[in-house]
Amino acid sequence: MSINADEFDDYHIDDISKNKPKKKVNGKKKGNRTELDLTKILTERFKSPFSRTVGSGSRWSQATLPQHAKEVFSGDLIVPKGFKFAIESKGGYDSIDIGSIFLTGNKELETFFDQATEDAKRCNRKPMLCWKRTRKPWIAFVIKEEIKNIEFKYAITYGKWTGIALEHLLKLEDDFFIDK
C-alpha cells in the first residue's frame, strides 16, 4: 500500500505552542496583594492593626504631607504607634538572581534598600524591607547592626543588610520591634 502525499493536502495542523496567549501580570495588583498579605501576617503576630499606606507605591504622599503625617504614612505600611521599623514591601521581582547577587550585587535590590532607608529617615524609624518572591517564603532585610547580638541559624548578609526568613524574625520578642 502506497501513500500519496496529495491525499493529506486538505489537513492543516496548527502549531499551538506559538499561539499560546501570554498571561500579563498586573504589577500594581500584585503589589497590593503582597502588601495586604504582609499586613495580615503582621497584624496577627502583633495583635495590632497594620494597613497599607494611602498612595503606597506612588510616593506622592511624602512630598505633600506635613511632618507629623509623614511619620504615619512613610513606607508601604502604616504601623502601630511605637513600632520601630518603617516597612517597605516588595512582591515578585523573580528575575533577581539570588546566586549572582553575591558576585556582582544587584541594582534593583539596592534600589529597594535605598527606598526602605529613605522611608525610614522620613519617619525617624529603622528600615525594614520585606520581600516575597512568587511561591517563596517572605524574606525580611534589616540593617545587620540591629541584630548584631541575635543568632539566626539561617541568614544572609548583603552589604550592611541581613536577610532572614520573616517567620524567624517574627519569633523575636516584642521589644525588638516596639518601643514601650
Q: How buried is residue 7: exposed, middle or buried, by Cβ count under 10 Å (0-12/13-18/19+)?
A: exposed
Return the ∠ at Cα 164 (arms to 31 and 101), rounded to 5°: 75
Nearest to 146 by CA among 128, 132, 131: 128
* Residue spans of alpha helices (H) in 47-165: 60-64, 67-73, 101-104, 107-122
Per CATH, domain 27-177 is 3.40.640: no
C-alpha cell at 124: 525617624
**DSSP structure class, residue 154:** S
pLDDT in tens, the chain (180 residues): 666 655 556 655 666 566 655 555 555 555 578 999 999 999 999 999 999 986 555 454 445 655 545 555 567 899 999 999 999 999 999 999 888 888 999 999 999 999 999 999 988 999 999 999 999 999 999 999 999 899 999 999 999 999 999 999 999 999 999 998
pTM higher than 0.85: no
Q: Which residue is it, cell 511632618?
A: 67
